[in-house]
Structure formats: structure tokens, C-alpha cells
Amino acid sequence: MSNSSPPDRHRLGRRALVAAAATTFAMPATAATPDPAITTLPDWSQSLGDGVQAHPYGVPSPFEKHVIRRDVEWLTAGQQSSVNFTPIHALDGTITPNGLCFERHHSGVAAVDPDQHRLMIHGMVAKPVVLTMQDLKRLPRSNRIYFLECAANSGMEWRGAQLNGAQFTHGMIHNVQYTGVSLRSVFEALGIDPRAKWVMAEGADAAGLNRSIPLAKAMDDCMLAFAMNGEALRPEQGYPLRLVVPGWQGNMWVKWLRRLKIGDAPWETREETSKYTDLLADGRARRSTFVMDAKSVITSPSPQTAASPKGQMVISGIAWSGRGSVTRVDVSLDGGRNWQAARIDGPVQSLALVRFYADIDWNGQEMLLQSRAQDSTGYLQPSKNDLRKIRGVNSIYHNNGIQTWLLRGDGICENVEVS
């Protein structure tokens, strides 16, 4: 295959490729000339470094300054009702560092004083209550790791390959450990009316974002979270209190949570009628599509992360499912013609992200890299074209189709689709 003619970014036929699974660890050959990095003493070995209090709150090495949340300017009219993206292409493991979790706000980041913040719980409840943060922190708490995916993740890709980077195509996701109180324990203490079926959750930001959540889900696994990854929630993630709705679309995870109203019917809010419904090809719309289906993406190599020259290569990616745990991830090097099982490494938990690897020996030829996840219900992540057959291309939300990266011989990746 020639590398000289640029490939059609949007449509590529499947190609046969040669890339065998790596079985041994190839070590670099001994250099012919002495390496100055080993024969001379670098600056940092010749003087004292920073003292312990140089960074009372630690920050990454300046050499990692490119690993940041980024936005796509033309996507939204302004910065307050907008989104930025987790740099998933530059991360490894399963936990997202707090400062890199993508942000989606409808009216900017509310600057909430925790001492003045209140959570009111009312409606079809025997004992309506107003709780302070102190009240909540007296209750028995638990720690749970969950992914949060915005339903609009990959939403720009419905009509074809568009954004050139895993950060932009799949970066509306994060995976952190939450500390908080189970909603069930609070509701049980307050005495829910047996006729109640729904809960409305409302935020204290200027948007007052609100969503109806089935009471059954609230009683199953929802949390009132005040900490993430061991420290207080970040303001961007809803400090001091956010609702955690495991496996369900991010829009329902109300930040700066100030009110929970119990009722017997959904409230039909803006966010569950004009938004977060999925327009089909025939003009009808799916609604109440709360659960995030199984999905995966190769994060490296990917368009923002060039591959090393041919030889041993680690293909790395993430997978998740809102219906259970990820049981298997397959990787294809030839656009879905052949698949091989990837190696999942690290914790495998329900409704949390997993990390997968495929360790290969790359012969330097072009590859069409894909991954597909399977979850504990047996559901297999579909191809984009199979998804479009059912859903059309009018949707913004719930695009969990298989992503393809074209890895060129020079190590650069492009966002493409296979026919």
C-alpha cells in the first residue's frame, strides 16, 4: 500500500494488514556513539531542586503542560453554556485526574459557599427536610467508582468522521471515585409516599438545571456525592454537592444540587423534552433514553498521539457500559475484518471504565484501528453503519458506534470511517 496519496478521510475500504501480536520484549539496540544523556550530567542533577512547599497543591510537570482540557470553539456560542473535553488521548489507567475531568455547564460554574448551601427534599415525602452540608456529612457514607458520559459524546460524528482527536470525539467522559451518601438511605429515613414514582433533581446554578429521575433508579444506586478521588468535588463538577446517577446520561447528574422533589409523574423539563431526546429518520423521537450503552475507543495511538516508528507498540484504550461491567474488548487492525481479544488490565467494576491494551509488533504498514466492547448483558458495541440503520443521522445523543483511526506509515493517525 502506498503512503503517497492522502486517504479519503471519510470513506476507506477495508484493507488487509500484517501485524502480529508481540510475544517478546524487544530491547533497543546498543547505540554506536555514546549517548550524551548518559555521559554528561544534566542540569537537574547539579543543584538543589524546589523545596517541599514550592507547590502546596501539586501540579503536573511542566513537560506535561499540553495535557489539558480543550474546547472546540465553533461548537458553542459562548464559554458559559459550553463543554470542554477530557484529554483521554494522553491518559492511562482508569481514574481521571480531577483537574482533567471534562466540564459541561449550561450557565457557567456556580461559585457555591458550602456553609450557605442547602439541599431541600420535599413533595410526596412524610418528613420534608432542608439539609446542610454538615447534616449530610454526619450520615453513613460510601465510596464508588463510576464513569460519567455526556449523552452528546461522539455526537458530532453521526454524519461522518469530523473531529480529529479522541479527546474531541470521545472526551465527554470521566471516571472517578465518589464519596457520598446513598440516596436510598436518606429517602428511607424521610418516608417516601408509596404512590411516588419520580424524583426531580435541581441545581443551584443560574440555569437551575433540572431532570426527572425514576424513583426506582434513585433507590437503586444514586448517591449524594461531596468528594471525588478523595478530595472535595471541584467547583466544575458541582461543589459542594452533586447527584451521581451511575451508568445514566451525564445530564441527569445534577451539579450544585439544591432540591429533590418527590412526585408521581415526570416533570417534562426542557432537558427531557426539547433536549436529550433522539430524533429518528422518520421524524419521531426516542425519549427517556437514560442508559449509556457499551462503548470503547482506542486512545493511543490516535490523531493527537503519534505512534513510535515500526516495532513494538502498545495500543491502549478505554471501554465502559451503563448496563453492567465490560466483559470483553476486541481490537481490529484492519477495519473490522479480523478481531483479536484485547487485554483488560486494572479494576473491572460495574458502571466504571476499564483500560484495555493490545501489544503488537507493527510492521510500519497502514492500519485501520478499531475497538469494540461487550458488556455483561451480552450486548456488543455496534458499527457506526449498523447504528445508523436503526437511528438515522439526525441524533446528537447516544452515538456508541465503533470508532476507526487510520494509522499511517509515518505514525500519524486520522479519524476515518470504513465502508
Give the Cα separation of 391 and 387 in Å (integer).
6
**Nearest CB to ligand MTE, comparing residues 221 and 236:** 236
To the nearest whole angstrom, how small is the minimum distance from the Cβ of residue 148 to ligand MTE?
Answer: 6
Q: Are 100 and 171 in contact (CB under 8 A)?
A: no
Nearest one of 226, 229, 253 to 114, comparing CA atoms: 226
Q: Are 402 and 383 in contact (CB under 8 A)?
A: yes
| Other beta carbons less than 10 A from residue 13's beta carbon | 9
Chain centroid offset of residue 246 CA: 13
To the nearest whole angstrom, how small is the minimum distance from the Cβ of residue 50 to ligand MTE?
Answer: 32
Q: Are 101 and 86 in contact (CB under 8 A)?
A: yes
Q: Are 370 and 264 in contact (CB under 8 A)?
A: no
To the nearest whole angstrom, how small is the minimum distance from the Cβ of residue 165 to ligand MTE?
Answer: 18
Residue nearest to ligand MTE (CB): 203
**Nearest CB to ligand MTE, comparing residues 291 and 306:** 291
Give the Cα separation of 250 and 203 in Å (integer).
14
Instruction: Measure the CA dihedral 329/330/333/335, to 10°.
Output: -100
240 DSSP assignment: T
To the nearest whole angstrom, how small is the minimum distance from the Cβ of residue 265 to ligand MTE?
Answer: 22
**Nearest CB to ligand MTE, comparing residues 205 and 334:** 205
**Nearest CB to ligand MTE, comparing residues 83 and 387:** 83
To the nearest whole angstrom, how small is the minimum distance from the Cβ of residue 330 to ligand MTE?
Answer: 28
Give the Cα separation of 408 and 419 in Å (integer).
18
To the nearest whole angstrom, how small is the minimum distance from the Cβ of residue 260 to ligand MTE?
Answer: 13
To the nearest whole angstrom, how small is the minimum distance from the Cβ of residue 222 to ligand MTE?
Answer: 13
Give the Cα separation of 223 and 370 in Å (integer).
34
**Nearest CB to ligand MTE, comparing residues 180 and 203:** 203
* β-strands 198-203, 210-214 pairing: antiparallel
**Nearest CB to ligand MTE, comparing residues 162 and 269:** 269
To the nearest whole angstrom, how small is the minimum distance from the Cβ of residue 354 to ligand MTE?
Answer: 19
Instruction: List residues near ligand MTE by CB under 6 A.
Output: 101-106, 148, 150, 174, 203, 205, 207, 209, 236-237, 250-251, 253-256
Question: Before 303, cis peptide (omega within 30)?
Answer: no
To the nearest whole angstrom, how small is the minimum distance from the Cβ of residue 187 to ligand MTE?
Answer: 20
**Nearest CB to ligand MTE, comparing residues 104 and 141:** 104
Give the Cα separation of 353 and 89 in Å (integer).
15
To the nearest whole angstrom, how small is the minimum distance from the Cβ of residue 331 to ligand MTE?
Answer: 27
- Coil vs helix vs strand at 271: helix
**Nearest CB to ligand MTE, comparing residues 238 and 409:** 238
Cα–Cα distances in angstroms (integers) from residue 327 to residues 250, 324, 341, in the given order: 23, 9, 11
**Nearest CB to ligand MTE, comparing residues 241 and 333:** 241
**Nearest CB to ligand MTE, comparing residues 105 and 372:** 105
3-state secondary structure 168-216: HHHCCEEEEEEEEEEHHHHHHHHCECCCCCEEEEEECCCCCCEEEEEHH
Question: Before 240, cis peptide (omega within 30)?
Answer: yes
Give the Cα separation of 237 and 226 in Å (integer).
10
